[in-house]
Amino acid sequence: MKSRWITNLLLLLGVAMLTLVARYQPGLDKPVETAAITRLSADQVRRIHLNRPVRPDLVLVRDAQGGWFIEHEPRLPADRHQVDSLTRLVQQKPVRSYAAGELELDRLQLDPPYASAIMNDLAIEFGGLEPLQDLRYVRVNDRVHLIPDLYLHLVEAAYTNFVRRRLLPPQSRIERLVLPGLTLSKDDGHWSLDPEQPVSADTLQDFVERWQDATALSVRAADADIGGTPIEIGYQGGKVLRLLLVAREPELLLARPDWGIEYRMGEDADFLLKLPHPEAAGGDAQPASE
């Protein structure tokens, strides 16, 4: 009986020791977490200066409200998603790192650098690709890092790649919409339509919301002498966004002459230019202006 009790005690101690070994792994050092290539966080970045051989320099600046703008004539609002993709560079963790003094920088296209992204006043210099894993050489101060090649295409992108793709500013609300052959106006919370059509108030509201949220697939520079049919979007504060309908097919193209840009809106031009047919909208419809 006593020997059985001792055996059970030894088994219990053995299980406890195995649990401790599995949990704490004595003799194994904890892996050291790799530091990012800079000490900046994305939220700390206030100014980005892109220097690249394929295009003129580009400068992006964050204002006091946290919005990003392109230093351009005229000043253009930047697309937050595109800027965020670029600012993630400051927290990128390297696959490998080296002391710059130990390398032949000219052979890595780092002396001089191929391109650079200056975040605030910190330069991140871009070199060539490492051939085995297609990692990009970047230099920050006296260190050279190998990182995934996720950023150079942004550094080299045209300024229009960073222009806000949503047509209207954030928090704006449409009060008047003038389209080819169609005008919608809001008065005392109700939409009226000129000329009248048998559509419901809900259909009109849904149609206005399409313009409220209208976002381009991409933005490109417009020709200086571009022409088209005028479109006006009036929103609160008496402000008016003036566009030109450049083309309906094969895709809807809208130009903004005051900014010198053109929006590619996709293939379904009717989505933004025509009210749904009453049968398609569903339900019994009455003239919206009544």
pLDDT at 217: 97
- For residue 118, pLDDT over 70 is answered with yes
Q: Are residues 234 and 202 located together in one domain of the fold?
A: yes
pLDDT at 199: 87
Q: Is 204 a domain residue?
A: yes
Q: Are residues 51 and 124 located together in one domain of the fold?
A: yes
Q: pLDDT per residue over 49-91, tens digit each?
A: 999 999 999 999 999 999 999 999 899 999 999 999 999 999 9
Task: From residue 175, give the alpha-carbon distance in Å to each of 30, 86, 147, 190, 270.
Answer: 61, 35, 49, 10, 21
| Total tally of structural domains belonging to the chain | 2
Of 95, 68, 63, which is closest to residue 84 (Cα–Cα)? 68
Q: Are residues 262 and 220 located together in one domain of the fold?
A: yes
> If you average pLDDT over every residue of the chain, what do you get?
89
Q: pLDDT per residue over 159-186, tens digit each?
A: 999 999 999 998 899 999 999 999 999 9
- For residue 3, pLDDT over 80 is answered with no
Q: Are residues 49 and 74 located together in one domain of the fold?
A: yes
Q: Is 26 a domain residue?
A: no
pLDDT at 289: 47
Give the CA angle between residues 278, 196, 284 to the nearest 5°: 30
Q: Are residues 183 and 153 located together in one domain of the fold?
A: no
Q: pLDDT per residue over 215-263, tens digit each?
A: 999 999 999 899 999 999 999 989 999 999 999 999 999 999 999 999 9
Q: What stretch of H or E contains 76?
A: strand 76-77
Residue 250, preceding peptide bond in cis (omega within 30° of 0): yes
pLDDT tier for residue 116 given thresholds of 50, 70 and 90? very high
Q: Is 51 a domain residue?
A: yes
Q: Are residues 122 and 151 located together in one domain of the fold?
A: yes
What is the span of the domain harbouring residue 73?
A: 42-162
pLDDT at 276: 81
pLDDT at 20: 54
Q: Are residues 189 and 146 located together in one domain of the fold?
A: no
